[in-house]
C-alpha cells in the first residue's frame, strides 16, 4: 500500500447526484475501511437541500446500503466514517453562499491540516463548472491564491464541455483559479485495470512492441457496446448523443493507449505527452469522408424514451474509421464502434495482424479466418488473448484459429478496486497519469466536432434493439 496521504478535506459539489450516490460515497467509505485514508479527513457534501449534518449522514448511509459492496457496512464501521461527514447547503450560483463553505473548511479544526489540503469534486452539470470555480475563487478557496502552503485540487467530471469551444472556455475558466497540475479531468475508463494494463502489456514485454506498427498490423478495432439503452438519461442524451458521451472520451482514450509511442519515462506528463501527440496525429475528418468513414445510428424506440423529442435525430450508435497520420500507423485503419442497446455488453480492442506472405494452408480467405490477433477484453471479462492458427487434428491440413488467454481473475487474486477507488486515490496522492490533460481534451473535441460537422444534416440510421447496429455500418470496413 502507498504511504498514507496528508490529512485532507474533500468537498463534493452535487452531493445528491447519481454519481455521488453510486460511486463517490461508496468509494470513499471503502477506501477508509481498507486503510487508505490518514488519521484525519473530512468529507463535505454540498447541495441545495436544507439538511443538517446528521440528516446528511443518514442519507449517505442509505446510499451506501444500496450501492456499496456491503462489506464493512455495519453500525460501528459506519459510525466511525460518519463522524467525517459534514454538509453545507449552497445555491451554487450564489457567490455569497460560498463564505459558509469557507467557514466550514477553515474553522473546523485548523490545527490538523484539514484546511491545508482540500480536494474539490465537481459532480455537477458541466455548465455549472465555470460558475463554481469563479465562486470558489471569490471566497478565497481557489488554488492560485492559496497561501497556506498545502494543496488545493479539483476533479472535474465528464462531459468536459460540449465541443471544442466550450471545452476551451472551461479550460480558461478553471485555469484562472487552479494550475494545470492541480486539475484532474476524470474519465473513469482510465481507472479500469485492463485499460491501465495496456501500457504495461505494450512496454514491458519485448515480443509485441516490435510488431506494433503499420508493417505488421492490418487494422485495429475498438468496440464499446452496451445491451441497454439510455436508461433514465433522456434529457442528457438529447444534449449529448453518443459521440460526445462515449467517443470523445472513453473511445479516443482507448485509441490513444493502444497506439501511443513509448513515453520518455513514467511521469504523468511523459505519458500524457504521448497521448496528446497521438490524438493530434489523427487525420482530420472532412465532409467528403463521411460516406466512407462514419455511420451513425439510433435504436428503435429511442424517440419514445422519457425526455426525448419525438423527432429526435440524436445518435445512440457510431461506427467511425480513423487514420493516424504518423510513421508508425500511416494507412492502418482504426475502427471504433460504440452504441447503446446493442446485442451484448462488451468493451474490447482487437489488433489484427497482416497475413503471412505466403499462404500454404487452404484458400486465400482462410488467412483472415486465422489471422493473428491480440485481443484486449476490458469488460465484462478482463482478459488478453492471442489468436493464432493451429492444425485441426486429422489427416488433412486444415487450420483453425485457437487462443492463448490471460485472465485477471485466475492469474491474480487481489481484491479489485473499482475505477473510482483508484482515481480518487490518485487524485488525493497527486498522480495525474490517468487524468486527461488540457491539450488532449481539446484535441479530442476537435476530432468529434469534425465528425459531427461532416455528418451534419444526415439523420442517424435506425437499428433494432439488441442488434449489431445499423446494417450499413459494415461499409466503413470496406
Positions that interact with ligand BG6 (CB under 6 A): 188, 226, 245-246, 347
Q: Which residues pair with 333 in a beta bridge?
A: 323
Q: Catalytic residue at 77?
A: no
Q: Considering beta carbons, is residue 138 or 468 the nearer one to ligand BG6?
A: 468
Cα 425 from chain centroid (whole Å)? 16
Q: How far is the CB of 274 from ligand BG6 (least distance, A)?
A: 23
Residue 90 and residue 75: Cα distance in Å, rounded?
A: 29
Q: How far is the CB of 306 from ligand BG6 (least distance, A)?
A: 16
Residue 282 and residue 377: Cα distance in Å, rounded?
A: 24
Q: Considering beta carbons, is residue 188 or 272 the nearer one to ligand BG6?
A: 188
Q: How far is the CB of 249 from ligand BG6 (least distance, A)?
A: 7
Q: Considering beta carbons, is residue 379 or 467 the nearer one to ligand BG6?
A: 379
Q: How far is the CB of 72 from ligand BG6 (least distance, A)?
A: 24
Contact 155, 122 (CB under 8 A): yes
Contact 48, 89 (CB under 8 A): yes
Nearest residue (beta carbon) to ligand BG6: 245
Cβ neighbours of residue 184 closer than 8 Å, sequence gap 6 or more: 153, 154, 155, 156, 423, 426, 427, 432, 435
Long-range contact set of residues 266-274: C-beta below 8 Å, sequence gap at least 24: 266/433, 267/433, 268/431, 268/432, 268/433, 268/435, 269/432, 269/437, 271/199, 271/433, 272/432, 272/433, 272/436, 272/437, 272/440
Residue 454 and residue 215: Cα distance in Å, rounded?
A: 30
Per DSSP (E only), the strands in 14-132 are: 41-47, 85-89, 117-122
DSSP output for 102-130: HHHHHSS-GGGTTTTEEEEEE-S-GGGHH
Q: Is the link from the previous residue into 380 a cis peptide, with omega within 30 of 0?
A: yes
Q: Considering beta carbons, is residue 30 or 245 the nearer one to ligand BG6?
A: 245
Q: How far is the CB of 467 from ligand BG6 (least distance, A)?
A: 18
C-alpha cell at 477: 470496413
Pairing of strands 333-339, 461-463: unpaired
Q: How far is the CB of 383 from ligand BG6 (least distance, A)?
A: 16
Q: Considering beta carbons, is residue 26 or 263 the nearer one to ligand BG6?
A: 26
Residue 321: Cβ-neighbour burial (10 angstroms; 0-12, 13-18, 19+): buried
DSSP output for 378-425: EESS-EEEEEEEEEPSSSS--EEEEEEEEEHHHH--SPPPPHHHHHHH
Q: How far is the CB of 237 from ligand BG6 (least distance, A)?
A: 8
Q: Considering beta carbons, is residue 154 or 247 the nearer one to ligand BG6?
A: 247
Q: How far is the CB of 122 from ligand BG6 (least distance, A)?
A: 15
End-to-end CA distance of the chain: 49
| Active-site annotation holder among 36, 117, 250, 421 | 250
Q: Considering beta carbons, is residue 246 or 324 the nearer one to ligand BG6?
A: 246
C-alpha cell at 137: 475563487
Cβ neighbours of residue 318 closer than 8 Å, sequence gap 6 or more: 242, 243, 246, 247, 294, 295, 296, 297, 336, 337, 338, 339, 451
Grouping H, G, I as helix, E, B as strand and the rest as coil, residue 143 is coil
Q: Considering beta carbons, is residue 139 or 314 the nearer one to ligand BG6?
A: 314
Q: Considering beta carbons, is residue 230 or 290 the nearer one to ligand BG6?
A: 230
Q: How far is the CB of 319 from ligand BG6 (least distance, A)?
A: 17
Residue 406 and residue 249: Cα distance in Å, rounded?
A: 27
What positions carry a catalytic annotation? 250
Amino acid at each position: 500500500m502507498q504511504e498514507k496521504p496528508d490529512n485532507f478535506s474533500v468537498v463534493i459539489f452535487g452531493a445528491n447526484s447519481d454519481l455521488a450516490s453510486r460511486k463517490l460515497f461508496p468509494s470513499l467509505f471503502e477506501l477508509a475501511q481498507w486503510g487508505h485514508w490518514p488519521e484525519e479527513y473530512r468529507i463535505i457534501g454540498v447541495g441545495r437541500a436544507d439538511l443538517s449534518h446528521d440528516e446528511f449522514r443518514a442519507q449517505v448511509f442509505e446510499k451506501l446500503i444500496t450501492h456499496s459492496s456491503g462489506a464493512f457496512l455495519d453500525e460501528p464501521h459506519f459510525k466511525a466514517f460518519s463522524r467525517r461527514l459534514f454538509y453545507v447547503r449552497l445555491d451554487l450560483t450564489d457567490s455569497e453562499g460560498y463564505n459558509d463553505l469557507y467557514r466550514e473548511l477553515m474553522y473546523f479544526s485548523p490545527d490538523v491540516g484539514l484546511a491545508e489540503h482540500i480536494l474539490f469534486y465537481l459532480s455537477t452539470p458541466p455548465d455549472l463548472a465555470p460558475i463554481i470555480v469563479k465562486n470558489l475563487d471569490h471566497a478565497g478557496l481557489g488554488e492560485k491564491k492559496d497561501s497556506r502552503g498545502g494543496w488545493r485540487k479539483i476533479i472535474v467530471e465528464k462531459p468536459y464541455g460540449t465541443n471544442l469551444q466550450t471545452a476551451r472556455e472551461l479550460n480558461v475558466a478553471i485555469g484562472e483559479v487552479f494550475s494545470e497540475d492541480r486539475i484532474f479531468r476524470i474519465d473513469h475508463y482510465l481507472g479500469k485495470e485492463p485499460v491501465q494494463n495496456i501500457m504495461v502489456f505494450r512496454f514491458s514485454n519485448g515480443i509485441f512492441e516490435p510488431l506494433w506498427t503499420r508493417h505488421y498490423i492490418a487494422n485495429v478495432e475498438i468496440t464499446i457496446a452496451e445491451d441497454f439503452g439510455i436508461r433514465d438519461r433522456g434529457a442528457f442524451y438529447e444534449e449529448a448523443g453518443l459521440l460526445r458521451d462515449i467517443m470523445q472520451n472513453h473511445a479516443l482514450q482507448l485509441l490513444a493507449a493502444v497506439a501511443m509511442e513509448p513515453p520518455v519515462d513514467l511521469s504523468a506528463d511523459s505519458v500524457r505527452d504521448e497521448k496528446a501527440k497521438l490524438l493530434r496525429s489523427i487525420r482530420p475528418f472532412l465532409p467528403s469522408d463521411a460516406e466512407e468513414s462514419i455511420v451513425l445510428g439510433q435504436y428503435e424506440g429511442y424517440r419514445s424514451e422519457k425526455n426525448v423529442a419525438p423527432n429526435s435525430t440524436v445518435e445512440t450508435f457510431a461506427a467511425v474509421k480513423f487514420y493516424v497520420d504518423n510513421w508508425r500507423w500511416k494507412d492502418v485503419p482504426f475502427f471504433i464502434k460504440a452504441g447503446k442497446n446493442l446485442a451484448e455488453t462488451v468493451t474490447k480492442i482487437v489488433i489484427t495482424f497482416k497475413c503471412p506472405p505466403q499462404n500454404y494452408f487452404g484458400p486465400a480467405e482462410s488467412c483472415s479466418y486465422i489471422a493473428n490477433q491480440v485481443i484486449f477484453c476490458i469488460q465484462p471479462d478482463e482478459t488478453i488473448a492471442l489468436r493464432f492458427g493451429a492444425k485441426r487434428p486429422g489427416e488433412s491440413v486444415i487450420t483453425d484459429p485457437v487462443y492463448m488467454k490471460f485472465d485477471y481473475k485466475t492469474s491474480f487474486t487481489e481484491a479489485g478496486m473499482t475505477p473510482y477507488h483508484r482515481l480518487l486515490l490518485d487524485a488525493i496522492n497527486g498522480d495525474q497519469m490517468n487524468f486527461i490533460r488540457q491539450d488532449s481534451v481539446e484535441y479530442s473535441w476537435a476530432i468529434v466536432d469534425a465528425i459531427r460537422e461532416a455528418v451534419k444534416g444526415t439523420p442517424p440510421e435506425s437499428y433494432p434493439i439488441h442488434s449489431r447496429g445499423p446494417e450499413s455500418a459494415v461499409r466503413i470496413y470496406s
